[in-house]
Amino acid sequence: MIGALRGLVESTGEGHCVLDVNGVGYVVACSRRTLDRLTAHEGVQRLLVETRVSQEAITLYGFLDAAEREAFRALIEVKTVGPQKALQVLSALAPDQLAQAIAAKERKRLASAKGLGAATANRIVDEPAMQKWAVGRALPEQDGGGATIASIATVPAGPDADAISALSNLGLKRPEAERAVARARAMLGEAAELQALITLALRESAR
């Protein structure tokens, strides 16, 4: 399997580029954001690659950073979201923006991605694995900067209070966050760690 390629961008097209690696041209599917970044620079470029093999073809998907590749891998695990739709999502939203939208259940923001639609956006938001992926990656929008879930977890307070604060920063109303954390605590028990508490509370808030 190909994990990365380094070469010159020979050409770009709708949803792909041709990367010349020592005289061999590799067709690599990319998000619009990655293509824009590729064409903004000259010289040798490096792409992280996800190789997908089917009966019809071997397809290479390229990413300029690990965060985008990780988001792609998470998205294609959602039912009905294949590689092409995953790239459409990543063309519209950077990985941290995607995490924020999923954690805050901004369905319309996801549905606005070209070619995605409301049904697929809802499926992405409601997928427990995607909610789990979003925790720790979402950047809550705050005046003067944001803080990740990981930094929220370091605040010296009880884990339940930290979890409520985290969910509130991700867009939940405080009463809703409190109820979700209470349900999660009851299910997990007193020994549950903060990350597990936040993950389950997010899932419970979607019920």
CATH number for the domain spanning 95: value is 1.10.150.20
Residue 21 lies in a domain: yes
Question: pLDDT, tens digit, for every residue of 20-72?
Answer: 999 999 999 999 989 998 888 888 999 999 998 887 888 999 998 898 999 99
Per the domain annotation, does 197 fall within a domain? yes
Q: What is the structure's pLDDT at 68?
A: 93
Are 170 and 140 a contacting pair, CB within 8 Å? yes
207 residues of the chain, pLDDT tens digit each: 688 999 999 999 999 999 999 999 999 999 998 999 888 888 899 999 999 888 788 899 999 889 899 999 999 999 889 999 999 999 988 888 898 888 888 888 888 888 888 899 999 999 888 888 887 676 444 434 443 433 333 332 467 777 887 777 777 777 788 888 887 877 777 777 788 888 888 887 776
Q: How many alpha carbons lie under 13 Å from residue 53 in its C-beta half-sphere? A: 2
Domain membership of residue 97 as a residue range: 70-134
pTM for the complete prediction? 0.65
Q: How far apart are CA 147 and CA 152, in angstroms?
A: 7
Q: Are residues 74 and 130 in the same domain?
A: yes
- Residue 89 has what pLDDT? 93
Question: Can you read off the two tokens belonging to residue 129?
Answer: 């694995």
Residue 143 in domain: no
78 and 42, same domain (yes or no): no
Q: Alpha-carbon dihedral of residues 99, 104, 109, 115, nearest 10 degrees?
A: 60
* Overall number of domains in the chain: 3
**Cβ-based neighbour number of residue 20 at 10 Å:** 15
What's the sign of the alpha-carbon dihedral 184, 189, 194, 196?
negative
